[in-house]
Amino acid sequence: MFEERITIIRIRKPSRTTLNEELQWFGNSLGLFNLRDRDKSCFRVFLELLKAAKLKHPLSSDEIASNLNLSRGTVVHHINNLVERGMVSQVRTKYILREPRLKELIEDLKRDAEKAYEELENAAERIDEMMGL
C-alpha cells in the first residue's frame, strides 16, 4: 500500500526574509522541521538534497552524512521522513528531491493532495449512500 503524508501548516510568512529564512518558512509550512530538531539536521539534509537536485546528482545517505558531519542514522531518519512526505525519491541506493525546482515539487504535492481529496470524496459519497444519508 502506498502512503504519503502531506502536511500543510499555515504559518504567517515574515515580510522581509533572507534566503535561509525563506527556506525555513517553506520547510516549516510543510511540517518538515520540528522543535526537537535542535541542530536543524533535517533542514541541513533538505538543503543538501536541494543542492544535489540542482546538479541532478543523487546522493547516498553516507555522502550526505559525510558532507554534513552527521551520523548516517540521523540522515536516514530524516530522509525517510522526506520520502514519506513525497518530497524525496530513491534512485537505487541514492536519494534526490522528487523535482529539481521547489515550485515543481509543490505542484506535484498539490496534485497528490487533490487525488487524496478526490478519493476521500468518493468514499464519503459511498458511505453516505450505505447509511442512507
Structural domain boundaries in the chain: 19-99, 101-133
- Residue by residue, pLDDT tens for the chain (133 residues) are 567 888 888 888 888 889 988 998 999 899 888 767 778 899 999 999 999 999 999 999 999 999 999 999 999 999 999 999 989 999 999 999 999 999 999 999 999 999 999 999 999 999 999 999 9
pTM of the model: 0.83
Nearest C-alpha neighbor of 89 from the set 61, 58, 48, 65: 58
Opening angle at CA 87, ends 82 and 89, nearest 5: 90
Which class does domain 19-99 fall in?
mainly alpha
59 C-beta neighbours (distance < 10 Å), count: 23
User: Is 117 strand, coil or helix?
Assistant: helix
In angstroms, the CA 54 to CA 57 distance is 8
